[in-house]
């Protein structure tokens, strides 16, 4: 059965904006968009006057096993595998309702994200498409070590990567530097070496998979880029040399601007460990400057929040997009960062990430146009995944059957 939404504004995800246009969905795929969709008939026609349609969005850095409490590491430590699995599902539903139809989960204890991914793919439950890393790989005592796989030396890291791929990981997550949340480590200090990371990246590539590096300090970022990493997560301390290196290697930046923002905004809450507050405050302004420099230089950006970190709630993807806009990225590029760029990072762009003929019908209906009001990303009227409405607010669109 074909469904046409007419009189809408539509962003393709590839930088194009179509106004007073249409899209036709047939089964689980997009049949037509733009002038062709306006021209072609459909069994059901829905008047979408005033609505804006964008592709289903990707949050490229989430932790489904973390709720955004002040001390998420303590929460993880106290969870049983069963409770963690339930937590993954609840948080994934929040993502879906916000218009995020795909998430890249970058670190879950016991590889629970991989089993949760499988449960959705097998139809046991509805949720966003999950691309999972399982447990991250860190040096002994490295950032996030309490819920990661510790490994040292090229052989040790290579073996850990192979074991993680054996468990079914879609992406290998590595810790290239220290981080904010782990006590006793400096966000600016390198951790896994270039050679260690290259060993893991080689294994990921051999298996047809991608890689991601938590990388905040300059030297650690350069190590990860030279090692062939697919994405740099956070990228707090970027200089001109590092940015040039990223452009040369085609490395994508996932800035996670919301993560330090929410720690700084809630620094006086008393719920966040003092060491994390201090490090986030020290990094905050540099992070913003680095993002702007990378953006101006033409580094490819994919949107991710680090959802699950302190006060950084699942379902608040819009905040990352608002911060990108505040720091200078235009709305069409923001949408591309949250859709097509993200899909391309995951090698999923042949089937998702844009609204065009033949691609999966993952899309979001907004009540307003984000080019007119950046807050429109919060005004989700409906979310469709594979042509099926998986979330709808009150006030259904009017359908004209048999047009």
CA dihedral 310, 175, 96, 316 (to 10 degrees): 30
Distance between CA atoms of residues 129 and 113, nearest Å: 11
Q: Exposed, middle or buried by CB within 10 Å (0-12, 13-18, 19+), for 331?
A: buried
- Please write the tens of the pLDDT for every residue from 338-392: 999 999 999 999 999 999 999 999 999 999 999 999 999 999 999 999 999 999 9
**β 100-105/57-62 pair status:** parallel
Nearest to 138 by CA among 166, 106, 114, 168: 106
pLDDT at position 107: 97
**β 210-215/231-234 pair status:** parallel
From residue 31, alpha-carbon distances to 20, 100, 101, 209 in Å are: 18, 22, 19, 30
For residue 236, pLDDT beyond 50: yes
Q: Exposed, middle or buried by CB within 10 Å (0-12, 13-18, 19+), for 108?
A: buried
Half-sphere exposure of 193 (CA within 13 A, CB side): 8
pLDDT at position 390: 95
CB atoms within 10 A of CB 35: 11
- Please write the tens of the pLDDT for every residue from 87-130: 999 999 999 999 999 999 999 999 999 999 999 999 999 999 99
For residue 398, pLDDT beyond 70: no
- Please write the tens of the pLDDT for every residue from 21-70: 999 999 999 999 999 999 999 999 999 999 999 999 999 999 999 999 99
Nearest to 186 by CA among 62, 77, 278: 278
Is residue 65 within 8 A of residue 76, CB to CB? The reply is: yes
Nearest to 239 by CA among 217, 212, 213: 217
For residue 401, pLDDT beyond 60: no
Distance between CA atoms of residues 25 and 340, nearest Å: 19
For residue 291, pLDDT beyond 80: yes
Distance between CA atoms of residues 56 and 352, nearest Å: 8
Q: Please give the model's pTM, rounded to 2 decimal places.
A: 0.96
Domains of the chain: 2-55+353-401 (2.30.40.10), 57-345 (3.20.20.140)
From residue 4, alpha-carbon distances to 20, 33, 43, 327, 390 in Å are: 13, 9, 8, 36, 18
Q: Exposed, middle or buried by CB within 10 Å (0-12, 13-18, 19+), for 217?
A: buried
Give the model's confidence band at 393: pLDDT under 50 very low, under 70 low, under 90 confident, else very high.
confident
- Distance, CA of 28 to chain centre: 23
Distance between CA atoms of residues 158 and 204, nearest Å: 10
Distance between CA atoms of residues 112 and 127, nearest Å: 15
- Please write the tens of the pLDDT for every residue from 252-279: 999 999 999 999 999 999 899 999 999 9
For residue 403, pLDDT beyond 50: no
pLDDT at position 91: 98
Q: Residue 285: in which H helix or E strand, if any?
A: helix 274-297
Mean pLDDT across the chain: 96
HEC sequence for 87-137: HHHHHHHHHHHCCEEEEEECCCHHHHHHHHHHHHHCCCCCCCEEEECCCCE
The stretch 231-243 carries a mean pLDDT of 98
Distance between CA atoms of residues 158 and 216, nearest Å: 23
Which residues neighbour 6 within 8 Å (Cβ) at sequence distance 6 or greater? 22, 38, 45, 46, 47, 48
């Amino acid at each position: 059965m074909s469904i046409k939404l007419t009189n809408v504004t539509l962003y393709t995800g590839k930088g194009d904006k179509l106004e007073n246009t249409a899209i036709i969905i047939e089964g689980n795929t997009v049949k037509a968009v733009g002038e062709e969709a306006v021209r072609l008939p459909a069994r059901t026609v829905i008047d979408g006057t005033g609505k804006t349609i964008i592709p289903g969005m990707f949050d490229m850095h989430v932790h489904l096993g973390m709720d955004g409490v002040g001390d998420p590491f303590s929460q993880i430590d106290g969870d049983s595998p069963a409770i963690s699995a339930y937590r993954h599902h609840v948080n994934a539903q929040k993502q879906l309702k916000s218009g995020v139809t795909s998430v890249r989960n970058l670190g879950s204890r016991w590889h629970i994200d991989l089993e949760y991914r499988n449960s959705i793919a097998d139809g046991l439950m509805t949720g966003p498409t999950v691309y999972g890393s399982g447990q991250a790989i860190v040096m002994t005592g490295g950032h996030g070590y309490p819920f990661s796989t510790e490994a040292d030396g090229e052989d040790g890291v290579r073996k850990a990567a192979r074991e993680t791929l054996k468990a079914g990981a879609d992406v290998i997550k590595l810790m290239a530097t220290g981080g904010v949340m782990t006590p006793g480590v400096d966000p600016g200090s390198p951790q896994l070496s270039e050679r260690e990371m290259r060993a893991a990246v080689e294994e990921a590539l051999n298996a047809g998979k991608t890689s991601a590096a938590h990388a905040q300090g300059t030297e650690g970022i350069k190590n990860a880029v030279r090692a062939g990493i697919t994405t740099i997560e956070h990228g707090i301390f970027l200089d001109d040399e590092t940015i040039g290196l990223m452009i040369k290697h085609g490395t994508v930046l996932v800035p996670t601007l919301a993560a330090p923002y929410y720690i700084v905004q809630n620094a006086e809450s008393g719920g966040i460990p003092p060491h994390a507050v201090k490090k986030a405050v020290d990094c905050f302004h540099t992070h913003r400057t680095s993002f702007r420099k990378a953006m101006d230089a033409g580094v490819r950006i994919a949107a991710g929040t680090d959802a699950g970190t302190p006060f950084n709630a699942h379902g608040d993807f819009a905040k990352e997009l608002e911060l990108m806009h505040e720091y200078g990225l235009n709305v069409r590029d923001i949408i591309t960062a949250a859709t097509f760029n993200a899909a391309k990072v995951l090698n999923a762009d042949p089937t998702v990430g844009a609204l065009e003929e033949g691609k999966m019908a993952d899309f979001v209906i907004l009540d307003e146009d984000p080019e007119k009001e950046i807050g429109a990303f919060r005004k989700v009227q409906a979310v469709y995944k594979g042509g099926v409405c998986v979330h709808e607010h009150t006030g259904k669109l009017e359908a004209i059957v048999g047009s």
